[in-house]
A = this chain, B = another copy of it.
Amino acid sequence: MTRVAVISLDEAIAEYVFDGATVAFEGFSHLIPFAAAHETIRQRRKNLTLVRMTPDLIYDQMIGMGCAQRLVFSYAGNPGVGLLRRLRDAVENSWPNAVEICEHSHAALANAYVAAASGLPLMIFRGYRGVDLPRFNPEIGKVSCPFSGEELAAVRAINPDVTIIHAQRADRSGNVLVEGIIGMQKEAVLAARHAIVTVEEIVDDLAAHANACVLPHWILDALCVVPGGAHPSYAQGYYRRDNAAYREWDSIAADRHRFQEWMNENVLEQDHTVFASRAIASREGHD
């Protein structure tokens, strides 16, 4: 097994996120890797298959900037605010390009990550009974239990080319600690061929208790120090969710022109170092 490389975020994205790749930027409400997504947008990646349980603002931005060819997801909303307007514009009006939809329920997509993390081609679960989605998604199948005869839902494993997550911290060997709401980060990393982790900081001692969610260095490829890299989502123990930014997004994304201006100013003309100050501003706004 190879040792994780501590490199800059732009190097990591350049090395592992290629045009046409299947990429999972994971993080369930917490620790969403916005800085890595913005770097991907700046590097003008195209035709990506974007996998994420909750597309959230991070994929609304990537879709609006034309990075995505396909979206694999299970809930596409701006939590507590409303719909994702750039995603809707792509799906309803093919702007800036048509985006193919591969839609799951949370249970199914979580199981698809579990399947891949477990090295299996599928996972089984009890779900999708009586509902319409399986008619539109060929990644959903059925399996009969050889013991009980019960028919269960099956979902094909999702093996991203690269999974990107944000975490609180790493130690000097590159072992990573994720704590609080841990979502699907471990599964998404283990499911992928390559993994990039951005962290708030590198420390001498992880100070992780025995059963914490720890990712050993030898399952990771690139480690990038990006303080504030999850803003406007949050990093428990570091800064809180910037709810105002989430609400504000609804009006920014409502208009194609305003969206593009905002992306120019806040993404294309910036680099990842801006996230540190955003997170500080968010912390000061809240405490």
Contacts and interface: CB of A to CB of B under 8 A. Distances in A.
Contacts of A150: 121
Contacts of A121: 145, 147-148, 150, 152
A182 interface: yes
A126 B122 contact: no
Contacts of A180: 210-211
Given A124-B120, A124-B124, A179 B146 contact: no
A154 interface: yes
B152 A141 contact: no
A98 B73 CA distance: 54
Report whether over half of chain A's contact residues are helix, strand or loop; otherwise say mixed: loop
A106 interface: no
A211 B212 contact: yes
A152 B210 contact: no
B145 A122 contact: yes
Nearest to A149: B121
A156 interface: yes
Interface string A92-125: 0000000000000000000000000011111111
A142 interface: yes
Contact of A211 (B126, B147, B182): B182
Contacts of A141: 146-147
A135 interface: no
A211 B210 CA distance: 10
A143 interface: yes
A252 interface: no
Contact of A146 (B154, B210, B212): B154
Contacts of A209: 179, 209, 212
A213 interface: yes
A119 to B, nearest CB: 7
Contact of A152 (B120, B144, B182, B211): B120
Interface string A123-145: 11110000000000001011111
Interface in A138-183: 139, 141-148, 150, 152, 154, 156-157, 179-180, 182
Interface of A: 118-126, 139, 141-148, 150, 152, 154, 156-157, 179-180, 182, 209-213, 236
5 contacts: A122-B124, A122-B148, A141-B147, A180-B210, A209-B209
Given A121-B147, A141-B146, A179-B209, 18 more contacts: A118-B125, A120-B124, A120-B152, A121-B145, A122-B145, A123-B124, A124-B143, A141-B147, A143-B144, A145-B154, A146-B154, A147-B156, A179-B210, A180-B210, A180-B211, A209-B212, A211-B211, A211-B213
